[in-house]
Structure 1
Amino acid sequence: MSNFTEQDMSLTHLNANGEASMVDVSEKAITTRIAIAEGYVNMLTSTLDMIASGEHAKGDVLSVARVAGIQAAKQCGNLIPLCHPLMLTKIKVDFQIDRANSRVRIESLCKLNGQTGVEMEALTATSVAALTLFDMCKAVDKVMVIDGIKVLEKSGGKSGDWKRA
Structure 2
Amino acid sequence: MELHLTLNGVPTVGTIAPDTLLLDFFRGQGCLSVKRGCETSNCGLCTVLMDDVPVLSCSLLAARAEGRKVTTLEGLQEEAAAFVGFIADQGAEQCGFCNPGYVMNTIALLRENPNPTDEEIRQYLAGNLCRCSGYEGQLRGIRAYLDSRDQAAQD
- What is the TM-score normalised by the length of structure 1? 0.28
Structure showing greater radius of gyration is 1
More helix by share: 2
Higher RCO (C-alpha 8 Å, min separation 6) = 1
- What is the TM-score normalised by the length of structure 2? 0.30
